[in-house]
Amino acid sequence: MNRITVVKRKGTREPLNIEKIRKVINWAAKGLELNPLKLEAKLKLHFFDGITTRQIHEAVINTALSLTTPEEPDWRILAGRLFIFNLYKEVSIRRGTSKLAYVGGGEEYFKVVKDLVEKGLYTQELLEVYSKEEIVEAGDYLNLDYDFLYDYAGANLLAKRYLCVYEDYPIELPQEMYMTISLLLAKNEPKGKRLKLAKKFYDLIAGKKLSLATPILINLRRPNGNLSSCFITAMDDSLDSIMYTANQVAQISKRAGGVGVNISRIRAQGSWIKKVFGASGGIVPWTKILNDVAVAVNQEGKRAGAVTVALDVWHLDIYDFLELKTENGDLRRKAFDIFPQVVIPDLFMERVKFNQDWLLVDPYEIERKFGYKLYELWGDEFEKAYLHIESKAELLKLKKRVRARELFKEILKTQVATGLPYIFFKDTANRLNPLKHDGFIGNGNLCMESFSNFKPSKGFKTYMKEGKIVNEVSQPGLVHTCNLLSVNLANISSDEELEEAVRFAVRILDNTIELTSPPILESKLHNDRYRTIGIGTLGLADYLAKRELPYGRQSLKFIEELYEKIAYYGIDESINLAKERGAFPAYEGSDWSKGIVIGKDGNYLLEKTSLKEKWLSVLKKLKEYGIRNGQLFAIAPNTSSGLLQGATPGVLPPFSRFYIDKNQKQAVPICPPYLKEKFWFYRESKFMEQKEVIDVISTIQKWVDSGISMELLFNLNLGIRAKDIYETVLYAWEKGIKTIYYVRTIQRDSQKALKKEECVACAN
């Protein structure tokens, strides 16, 4: 062993010193339940003459990962700590210092801020809003202990996706990132309390009690960044609108937003164009354009754009729409890179349930002959119009009568094959829309958790000016826009901590509305009118397991009380902000102004809930001050957030208690935070009846004014039949579920689920 020499980062050589390695391993193992000697024994096999210090570090990390098991999960945390320690060294080298970063405290942090502002990685506003003394004080508040809360998967994701790099090398450290974000989140607060608030934001975010969405984490500290995750727009039935919408999608995608586009206004294939019957190509050509825009505008080179395209189930082109991502049929009529979404009214589901007929129609012909804009209608108004159209179907030239149940089965068959389309239950979502006085919700967003009123722009012209194409809008519409964060329930230990996290979440997200640079005009108009925010949660399975409660029907009462508390804290705090800053402009006439809270009137709140006295106070304050935000709650899938936060994603049970995520470089173990001590309280989704998952989601939905990303997972090894999938989705509608995100299946003789593509915009 003494013959082995090590090549240091500076290129010099020295004999291998096992004691140095042992010292670092023992430091990383502090407080963990593992034996460092076990790692050291396996590590010796990886040493060779001329090994570099980086290779030693990688060997220690990979050996620790290989030792990780359900019985000894702490090895992944040791690997995460070593990863962060190595990051310190790498950043110190880039800064030209021999000592590890952070040694200089607040003065060092001020130098970093100044340097990254000069490099264009931080916004100049930091130095304009805060004095040197304030930044130094903030730097002195940095807490290195937060760096060692990560397991390897979280630390690796943090470094690769979120930390600033300069000339392809890391230049920023985690606590610098979190403090800088916190300072900017507080920059518009009153001068006397902004630094105090920034420190509070920092503790909640860096301490992994609040998880910010990706656009906030990446863009806030950069100049003119978009902070919003979710956007929904609509394409009107004209060439100008189609091209204008494609440009909207491009601009949003360029700024890292996920986009939803409603295309139900587009005339069907074979419809009229300028009185020529049969000239229309239908929805497929325009969907292909959106597909290509999503691929071409690749979010600053980091990943392709992501677009969900929504079509109402009464549209004559629905069968073509369902074929967009399947592998059979004409490849020229495919759009493999979009995420289809079917918009379904109650009337269709009733026809499915009773095996009745369903009439498919062309929206252009319906509007021309009957005056109905079916795509704008929901509930009783839709049913009345649709029944009238059915009674006069002989007047229609373009129509197709099908069995509703057979069409529904086609939707489910496509889901089993591709995981898509998403499903949006339009009437359920609009009944519980607090802003129904001012419009309607046409479909869901990319992750099916955030949606509000939106409408296409009218009166726009496209023309050339000075050699450039100009899109001029005289009647701009609204593009649904929402900023997201999630409360990490895995790290919440008491009602006091929960209340603090939710109340500060409201303030943080309301602040981001002022801080964001919207990618398009219609997004700013939506922000200004509704001030929509989306507070979500992740780690519900961890929260339950920690309290020795299994995920499922046994815990429904506890879950409902938990989400009622979250709703109360959030709504009460938004009312407090309305007192401080004013109610959202479209407040008058909204459900809020009528004392209706997430579909519940005063009688319900004061008779059937667990927080009656608190709701009485809320109703009084609401009447006096209004509320700051038109919508407050949206529960995202949080797939990557779960990795970053070291928690189970969203509000679903984990797919597996323990699994290995393999890539080209290494195998990374993934498991919930309390696996070792609470193993049997973690139920695995792949072995659960999905109706039980629906019961949990529908219970949470009672206290969520927007949506919840709910996946369904069918394990065909458990004897699941097509009939079971059909009955489960029907059950979801009957239980008041608003949306269904992915439908995944585990094929027989396999434990692998149909792969889904992650929605990064809604992450964190």
Please identify every residue annotated as catalytic.
445, 447, 449
What is the H or E stretch that residue 340 is in? strand 339-344
Beta bridge partners of 468: 465
CA 421, chain centre distance (Å): 18
Q: Rounded distance, CA 287 to CA 334, Å?
A: 9
Q: Where are the alpha helices (DSSP H) in 102-172?
A: 105-118, 125-129, 132-140, 152-157
Closest CA relative to residue 90, chosen from 168, 5, 153: 168
Helix, strand, coil content of the chain in percent (nearest 5): 50, 15, 35
CB atoms near residue 749 (< 10 Å): 7
Residue pointed to by tokens 């089993």: 416
**How are beta strands 712-715 and 743-746 bridged, if at all?**
parallel
Helix (H) or strand (E) holding 357: strand 357-361
The answer to whether 551 touches 596, Cβ cutoff 8 Å, is no
d(C-alpha 635, C-alpha 695), whole Å: 16
Q: Which residues pair with 753 in a beta bridge?
A: 746
Rounded CA separation 393/346 (Å): 21
Q: Report the candidate in 260, 368, 375, 236 with the shortest Cα–Cα distance to residue 313.
A: 375
Compute the distance between CA of residue 671 and CA of residue 648 in angstroms, rounded to an integer: 8
For residues 272, 275, 276, 277, the Cα torsion angle rounded to the nearest 10 degrees is 40
Contacts of 361 (CB under 8 A, 6+ apart): 268, 314, 315, 316, 374, 389, 396, 398, 399
Print burial letters for 201-239: b (CB count within 10 Å at least 16), e (below 16): bbbbbbbbbbbbbbbbbbbbbeeebbbbbbbbbbbbbee
Residue 541 near residue 605 (C-beta atoms within 8 A): no
Positive/negative CA dihedral, 244, 245, 246, 249: positive
- C-alpha dihedral (485, 490, 492, 495), degrees to nearest 10: 90
Quote the CA–CA distance of 92 and 37 in Å, as a whole number: 30
Are 314 and 399 in contact, with CB atoms under 8 Å apart?
no
* DSSP letters spanning 456-516: --EEEEEEEETTEEEEEEEE--B-EEEEEEEEEGGG--SHHHHHHHHHHHHHHHHHHHHH-
Cα radius of gyration (the chain): 27
Which whole-number Å values give the CA distances from 572 to 502, 506, 560, 607, in the listed order? 10, 10, 18, 19
Q: Which residues contact 327 (CB under 8 A, 6 or more apart)?
A: none
CA distance 174 to 753: 33
